[in-house]
Chain A
Amino acid sequence: MKLKLTVSCILIVLICAIIPPSFAGLSSSGEKKEFYITARQYAYEPGKISVNKGDEVHIKLASLDVIHGFFLEGYDIDAQIEPGVQKIKMRHPSQGREFTEVDEIVFTADRPGKFRFRCSHTCGTMHPFMQGEMLVNPNYPFLAGSGGTVGVFISALLTMFVLAKKDTSAAAEKELQHG
């Protein structure tokens, strides 16, 4: 009984975690998405950008006050921007420390999920917390996590009421035997 319940609960959580991402689809749009992001102490504007998996993303950057960085996690992109300078210093950290000057950052959003871009150049007191978000849809981790959360709750309900029903049946059986 206990094993059956445990297995059922695990299955419910797994199914709930799988369903939402399955409905989200897999297709890539492949559109060109352009963004102009300004950086100031200690935020980016816009702070959130959203693209679809497969989109070609073009990002232009500008600093409004001091030198800022732009480290996009998961995409091996690190950039530096100076106030009043249009060119962006960019590098791929995995390929070395040297920066090259570019007009815009271009990459293909091939990894779904939520990725933060952070300031990588100490810009003041709140520097470690200066960050923005790039959402690459479909956001499978979030969808699976949300489904799993609901799954945990459903399996908890199931377990509690199955145990309660079992208890009631056992009590009724006992009563019948005594009666």
Chain B
Amino acid sequence: MDKPQQDSTDTIQKTVQPDGKVKNKGFRIDLFKLIPLTKKICQWRSLQFLLVFPTMVIFLVFLYSGLFGSTVGNRNIIVIFVWIFWWFLLITFMVPFASRIWCLVCPFPFFGEWFQRLAFIKVRVGKMLGMRNKMYGLNKRWPKFLSNIWLQNILFLGMCTFSAMLLTRPIVSVIALGGLFFIATVLSMIYRQRTFCMYLCPVGGFQGLYAMTSMLELRATDKEVCRKTCKTKNCLTGSEKGWGCPWFQYMGKMERNNYCGMCMECVKSCPNDNISLNVRPFCSDTLIKGYDEAWKSFIMLALAMVYSVTLLGPYGTIKDWANVAETRNWKGFGIYAAIIWFTALVAIPSVWALGAWLGKVLSGSDKVSTKEIFIRYSYMLVPLGLLAWIAFSFPLIMINGLYIVSIVSDPLGWGWNLVGTADIPWAPIFSEYTAHVQIPLLLLGLFYAIKRGYDISLSLYQDKAKAARSLIPLGVVCTVVVLAFLKLFTG
């Protein structure tokens, strides 16, 4: 089994009732029960294809535009739609409100998944690799030592090092997105299911982490049914109605959103009608399981800071360093890259480690190790990081929003005016009010960081005073981080 499959019970999210049953903390509203039509839609076999196919066509148009359209970023649809519009929708709405819903419509695995199934819609029944579906390709297992998100972390950091080029040069976007599409397709031919999405996709890594905050979850309605009644585990192994989970998730044990791609196959294949699509409180999954996930939170925080300085700041020298393709200042780019990698991989984790150690000392207890505090409390950077990214993304859309409107009429920058919006002059949309949006977002991020941090501390320490004391140093770190973002955005 791959690591993400072995989700254990998240103690923070559970309360044991007098009858011994474990109940989720916080409300759960099952959308399948509330609006039965949603269940029918999710059980509909054509759903994914009908969503992915248009995305795939749009993606190919973007690639074409990147190859043959204007070389100026803000006049080419691939740059404006992918890095401004899609990014804003993803980080601001999709992830916080719909978990990894993007994975349901993502075009990257389109051909790879088709190659594995030789079908877009129907299900193939068969027996292989412990599954009840017939699949094509080599179906190899991903190496165990790579069954974590370290590769995703490094790939994402690597890709983001070249962000200034990605965000401004259509051809670089074509190389990056086309390359990911190609790798996803080839890997699907070699490895089982959505190996690329789980272990390599740079977008999947941060989506998985931040999906922990999401207000939507796909879960077993009653896990006891999975564990005791269900002998076939069709969610994992598949059936004649649905494919086995492409993400290797067994619903009887799945407790976090991290590795659920919301493909809805389990809704189709479950023979016990035991899947719920729940609305739940913000930041309901709080269990960070290892260093790879902890480092992802550090990387995301570091990148939010670096981008805020580079892209939203007034610092010409740093922009020159990042813009190496034009300036050819390789020394400057080296400094820029070193700052990003050092901040993400060394500086922030070191501060966090110091905070964790101080927390252990302040708690006055030896029962919880510094390592455990370091890993578990790193969850605090999940809501904080997400809200900081949203605060970063708002100005992007407020400044570049009108480019989106005009580029619809002239997607390739060839002087067309398809829907009459090409000549709308650029102007920021209420950008002078960004601070009024960013400040509440950052405060909300800090609030959730400390609130969930306290929940985690209570699961580690029986004594509330010890729990509170253990949280102080990292609470201070989070507060300082928010002050730093405030300075960057509004100060």
Taking Cβ atoms with an 8 Å cutoff, the residues of A that contact B are: 13, 40-45, 47-48, 71, 73-74, 78, 93, 97, 111, 113-116, 118, 120, 122, 124-133, 139, 141-142, 144-146, 148-150, 152-153, 156-157, 159-161, 163-165, 167-168
A133 cross-chain contacts in B, Cβ below 8 A: 314
Chain A residue nearest in CB terms to B481: A149
B116-124, B208-216, B422-430: which lies at the A interface? B422-430
Complex: A116 Cα to B426 Cα, angstroms:
15
B476 touches A153 (CB 8 A): yes
B486 touches A142 (CB 8 A): yes
Least CB distance from B489 to A in Å reads 8
A118 touches B399 (CB 8 A): yes
B316 touches A45 (CB 8 A): yes
Taking Cβ atoms with an 8 Å cutoff, the residues of B that contact A are: 71-75, 164, 167-169, 310-317, 319-320, 323, 325-326, 399-400, 403, 425-428, 431-432, 435-436, 439, 442-443, 446-447, 450-451, 454, 463-465, 467-468, 471-472, 475-476, 479, 482-483, 486-487, 490-491
Complex: A161 Cα to B317 Cα, angstroms:
47
A125 touches B73 (CB 8 A): yes
B399 cross-chain contacts in A, Cβ below 8 A: 118, 128
Contacts A125-B72, A142-B486 given; indicate if A47 touches B315 (C-beta within 8 A): yes
| Residue among A41, A152, A163 having the largest count of chain B Cβ atoms under 10 Å | A152
Least CB distance from A85 to B in Å reads 21
Grouping DSSP codes into helix (H, G, I), strand (E, B) and loop, the B interface class, with mixed when no group exceeds half, is helix
Complex: A148 Cα to B74 Cα, angstroms:
37
What are 22 A-B pairs at a CB distance below 8 A?
A40-B316, A41-B326, A43-B319, A47-B313, A73-B432, A78-B427, A97-B425, A118-B428, A120-B426, A125-B323, A126-B326, A129-B312, A129-B319, A141-B490, A142-B486, A144-B439, A145-B443, A148-B439, A149-B486, A150-B479, A161-B465, A168-B464
B472 touches A157 (CB 8 A): yes
B317 cross-chain contacts in A, Cβ below 8 A: 43
Chain A residue nearest in CB terms to B464: A164
Least CB distance from A70 to B in Å reads 13
Complex: A13 Cα to B450 Cα, angstroms:
14
Q: Select B465's contact among A122, A124, A164, beta carbons within 8 Å.
A: A164
Complex: A153 Cα to B313 Cα, angstroms:
27
Least CB distance from A11 to B in Å reads 15
B451 cross-chain contacts in A, Cβ below 8 A: 156
With contacts A113-B435, A126-B164, A152-B446 known, what are 17 further pairs, Cβ within 8 A?
A13-B443, A43-B319, A74-B432, A115-B432, A116-B431, A118-B399, A127-B72, A127-B74, A129-B319, A130-B319, A131-B313, A131-B314, A141-B436, A146-B483, A160-B454, A161-B468, A164-B463
A164 cross-chain contacts in B, Cβ below 8 A: 463-465, 467-468
B465 touches A71 (CB 8 A): no
Complex: A73 Cα to B72 Cα, angstroms:
24
Least CB distance from A117 to B in Å reads 9
Chain B residue nearest in CB terms to A44: B314
A43 touches B490 (CB 8 A): no
A145 touches B476 (CB 8 A): no
A73 touches B483 (CB 8 A): no
Complex: A128 Cα to B319 Cα, angstroms:
12
A152 touches B450 (CB 8 A): yes
Chain A residue nearest in CB terms to B466: A164
Chain B residue nearest in CB terms to A78: B427
A125 cross-chain contacts in B, Cβ below 8 A: 71-73, 168-169, 323, 325-326
B450 touches A153 (CB 8 A): yes
Contacts A142-B490, A145-B443, A164-B464 given; indicate if A128 touches B74 (C-beta within 8 A): yes
Least CB distance from A98 to B in Å reads 12
Contacts A43-B314, A47-B314, A131-B312 given; indicate if A156 touches B490 (C-beta within 8 A): no
